[in-house]
Structure 1
Amino acid sequence: MASNELLSNNLNRSQFMKKLQLSGFIVKQDALNVFESEFRCGNSYESIDDFVSQLLTVFAKIDFQDYVVDITLAQEAVNELRKARDEIEAKSSSETIIKNIIPHSFTTMSNDFKFQYEHLVQSLKRLPVFESGQFTLMTIDDLNTYESNVPIKSIVFALIRKDPSKIMQFILEDPTGTIPATFSSKIVWKEWATFENAIYLIEGSYEGQRDSFVMTTIGLNPPIQSIFPEPINDCQQIERDASDPMIVIISEIYLNEPETLKALRILFNGYNESIAPDFFILIGNFSSITLSENEIKANMNKLERLIVSFPNIKSNSKFILVPGPDEPTESTFFIKKCFTTGYFIRSAINISFATNPFYLLIKKRSLMVIANRMIERYLNNLINSKCNLNSDPNLLDRDSIKNLFESIARLSIANAHLTSGIDRNYSSVLSLLPKIPDLILLSDNHLCKNSHCQPFDRNSKYATTTSFSRDSFQFLVYYVQSNELEESQIFLK
């Protein structure tokens, strides 16, 4: 059985459960859903037998009460599998791995949300304020079964979305159910910007007979502690040196425009005569207009000929080509498939083709790169902000862009998901679990300025890069070990 074989098939589910039962384990339905999601997305499993074998190795390290695998134990086991997989990848001889994102069937989306939610809520419950009993989290089901007309104060951890049947009313949702909700006239907004289709900690009161939850405070959960790399103390701060791998990131490169090719020539020449970067990440779109396949190949051939003309970077730099949101490659949900070798005439350069988004693992650092019109999507899902935001990103002032960007960064890292706040289907292939990347890089052509921040004062950064061709040939340089970003620009005479 190949690794893309589906556990959701009844026969495969039966085989999977039977193999674990033969080893003395009983798997609950919720746990089975978690394993199903991992099997679909974990591209390292050759077969169900291989998956079960790896699970049993992990189970041997877990203290079981009665050999019943519930959702909590399933999540723990999956995290151990992913951790072991990342450690193996980090020890690979090249120490550099490109991980393409492979979309899976939409039939698992509800399970994906449940897995994401349960992982977050389990971490939340381990916080001292909840573990001590000072505060108690209630589920939506707890509220739905409360029938008294006396309002009960409660804290819920739930996804918030608009009620399509009612104006200015919302629905709170967790894996146990849904409930109608409204905002108090004195609501406290903890975040500068709040979005629907995102998971928040919400305080309020619920009256059973009116079936109405009135929200009084809404804010983000603290980020999961265990998924961050160890913070670097000031005295241990890695100083940048010549051995620090350098990555040049260039986005929206219009190869059909002579000025862009001229700027690229200057950029390549500068690095060719000094230190060749370890990587060039070249992100689309690669044309300002819609082109035929032959025209795209002609443009890519221009790029290839340009690179070949600089022997230092041709020999010592690796190039990663990432399709932009409008490239003619196949797409599913938020994922664009990679270019094929057919777009290039010869293999004279060291080039890799990545999906959009993709991961780059290098020197124990993890980068995620995505090119999409995310800012516009977030604005369409905005529930509240500390100032009135125009729905057109191009009309936002500098301060609004900065605050909006930081709110998006905080949400993505707190919810540990790339599309939190955009889409309620929390696809597991876009999850940032179990370890938040050291750098999440968003290429969005609605932005006119490069930005980056560390929203929770930790090593993980969220950054944006703007258009090379439309915004005065700006680009980014990332130093891997020191985890530093630099803005740079080419000036044409």
Structure 2
Amino acid sequence: LLSNGIFQVNTCGFPPLEDREASLSLLMGLDFFGGGVIPTEETLRLSSLEKKAVNDMFVILSDVWLDNPEDVPMCYLVEKTMEKLAVVLDGYDSVEVVPSLFVLMGNFCSRPCNLAFSSFEELRLQFGKLGEMIAARSRLKEHSRFLFVPGPDDAGPSKALPRCALPKYLIEELQKHIPNAIFVSNPCRFDMKSTLKIPTPTRIKILDLLYRMRRSCLIPPTSEETSDPFEHLVATITHQSHLCPLPLTVQPIIWNYDHCLRLYPTPHVIVLGDKSEQKAFKYTGITCFNPGSFANDGTFAAYRPCTKEVELSALEG
């Protein structure tokens, strides 16, 4: 504090990041997914299963548009999206070991589902067609799980985070074809040991976060270590241990559920479904990636929990 009353800052940085293993050692086996205390023997057994599951794969797609917009150029994009999705499903249906999990993230509509939106019945039918498309691939229907995460402009009660799962009205037709489909909130987290016996804590979020973070910057990030905006974003959310460290005026948060956005202990994987360029980055042991916008450029990603490797993929054309 200077004599004239000005508070001068010489250095401003992030709070230190606590390593995941250090956090777990202090928690003494406490399961943050509500499973109580997990014995050390069980943790070791699950870790062993993870290393043996060399064929397990998660396929993640963001911006899977299903609607039929009136705008001609947008209608072309939506039609191409469904065609591209069929190509992806056909490709994985023909491999020797099908993916364990498909994660389909919104937005599921090319237009915001706000008060001016009047095509909910049509969108409901399009979800039904998606269910038919998946059910037509018998190996995927039998051996893969499908998880749906709503986007920021999908149908819901508000723009505040966390966003609840897609309304039951929209997904009923799809569930007739895929009864075991999973519909979750945004953000969501899952630990595959509950279904696949693999201890892979994962966080999934979709909010066009990079754009909002850059707009809210008071001081431009330093380029000494990297000039990549995505890498700056990953460093920010991991050090802040929060998926959305923005002012409430920029992004409202339902305060009673703010804990759903926290990143403690740090997960193995963070998936940021952003409209920005497809990107993957490993930071302090955390794998973070953006699968890209499937509707706009046909990009998606595949993640292998055994090796914690990300395969960034794209369809031609």
State the TM bucket, normalised to the shorter chain: 0.7 to 0.9
Q: Which amino acid aligns with 1:317?
A: S
The residue that corresponds to 1:216 in the other structure is: 10
Distance 1:333 1:342, change over 3 A: closer
Aligned to 1:335: 162
Give CA deviations for 1:282-301 in whole Å, capped at 9, x if unaligned: 00111213552101101101
**What whole-Å deviation, never above 9, does each CA across 1:300-324 have from its counterpart, x for those lacking one?**
0111111111101011111011111
Which of 120, 132, 145 is 1:293 aligned to?
A: 120
Q: What do you get for the CA RMSD once the two structures are aligned?
A: 2.8
| 57, 60, 82: which one aligns with 1:246 | 57
- Partner residue in 2 for 1:455: 283
Question: Contact between 1:367 and 1:437, CA under 8 Å: does it hold in 2?
Answer: yes
2:292 paired residue among 454, 457, 466: 466
Specify the code of the residue in structure 2 equivalent to 1:280: F
For the residues of structure 2 that align with 1:245 and 1:227, how far apart are their CA atoms?
Answer: 27
Measured against aligned partners, the alpha-carbon deviations of 1:196-235 in whole angstroms (never above 9, x if no partner) come to xxxxxxxxxx23x643210111122321132379xxxxxx
Q: Which structure 1 segments of 5+ residues have no match?
A: 1-205, 230-235, 389-398
Compute the displacement of 1:386 (Å).
Answer: 5.3
Counterpart-to-counterpart distance in 2, 1:270 and 1:320: 19
Q: 1:422 to 1:411 in 2, by over 3 A?
A: farther
> Which aligned pairs between 1:3-42 and structure 2 lie closer than 5 A?
none
Out of 286, 310, 314, the position equivalent to 1:485 is: 310
Written as runs of structure 1 = structure 2, the 5 A alignment for 1:137-286 is: 206-207=1-2, 210-225=4-19, 226-227=22-23, 243-256=54-67, 257-274=78-95, 275-286=97-108
CA-to-aligned-CA distance 1:90-125 (integer Å, 9 cap, x gap): xxxxxxxxxxxxxxxxxxxxxxxxxxxxxxxxxxxx
* Equivalent in 231, 237, 243 of residue 418 of structure 1: 243
Task: Tell me the distance in 1 between the aligned counterparts of 2:91 and 2:147.
Answer: 19
- Could you say what secondary structure the match of 1:376 adopts? helix
1:465 deviation in Å? 2.1
> Could you tell me how far 1:422 is from its partner in structure 2?
4.9
Task: Identify which of 262, 281, 302 aligns with 1:431.
Answer: 262
What are the superposed Cα offsets for residues 12-43 of structure 1, whole Å, 9 maximum, x if unpaired? Answer: xxxxxxxxxxxxxxxxxxxxxxxxxxxxxxxx
CA–CA distance in 2 between the matches of 1:224 and 1:488?
32
Q: 2-side partners of 1:272 and 1:431: how far apart?
A: 36
Give the 3-state SS of the residue equivalent to 1:418 in structure 2.
coil
Gaps of 5+ in 2: 26-46, 68-77, 193-197
8 Å Cα contact 1:307-1:313 kept in structure 2:
yes
Q: Tell me which of 301, 316, 339 is aligned to 2:143.
A: 316
Contact 1:370 1:443 in 2 (8 A): yes
Tell me by how many angstroms 1:239 deviates: 10
The amino acid across from 1:463 in the alignment is: F
What's the secondary structure of 1:335's corresponding residue? Answer: coil
Matching of residue 440 in structure 1 with residue 265 in structure 2: no
Q: Which SS does the other structure have where 2:294 is aligned?
A: coil
Offset, 1:262: 1.1
Look up the match of 2:42.
none
Q: 1:454 to 1:422 in 2, by over 3 A?
A: farther
Preserved CA contact (<8 Å) 1:331 1:337: no
CA distance in 1 between counterparts of 2:288 and 2:51 reads 20
Identity, in percent, stands at: 23
Letter in 2 for 1:220: F
> What does 1:27-66 align with in structure 2 at a 5 Å threshold?
none
Distance 2:110 2:60 in 1: 19
Kept in 1, the 8 Å contact 2:111–2:153? The answer is: no
Checking the alignment, whether the CA contact within 8 Å between 1:280 and 1:317 is kept in structure 2 is yes
Tell me which residue corresponds to 1:348.
Answer: 177
SS of residue matched to 1:328: coil
> Which deviations, in whole Å up to 9, do the C-alpha atoms of 1:328-350 show, x marking residues without a partner?
12235222110144323243322
Q: In the TM superposition, what are the counterparts of 1:348-427 in structure 2 within 5 Å? A: 348-349=177-178, 350-362=180-192, 363-385=198-220, 400=227, 403-423=228-248, 427=258
Deviations 1:379-399 (A, max 9, x none): 1221222579xxxxxxxxxx8
Matched residue type, 2:176: S
State the alpha-carbon separation in 1 of the partners of residues 199 and 64 from structure 2. Answer: 29
Aligned-pair distance for 1:462?
2.0
* 1:481 aligned counterpart, secondary structure: coil
2:155 is aligned with what amino acid? Answer: P
- The 8 Å contact of residues 50 and 305 in structure 2, kept in 1 or not, is answered as no
Q: Quick one: which amino acid aligns to residue 64 of structure 2?
A: I
Offset of residue 466 of structure 1: 1.2
**Matches of 1:246 and 1:228, distance apart in 2:** 25
How high is the TM-score relative to the length of structure 2? Answer: 0.75
Give how far 1:463 is off. Answer: 1.6
Offset at residue 482 of structure 1 (A): 1.3
CA distance, structure 2, for counterparts of residue 387 and residue 482 of structure 1: 32
Deviations 1:158-186 (CA, angstroms, capped at 9, x unpaired) = xxxxxxxxxxxxxxxxxxxxxxxxxxxxx
Give the paired residue count. 263
The structure-2 alpha-carbon separation of the partners of 1:272 and 1:442, relative to structure 1 and needing over 3 Å to count, comes to: same
Whether the 8 Å CA contact 1:323–1:355 is kept in 2: the answer is yes
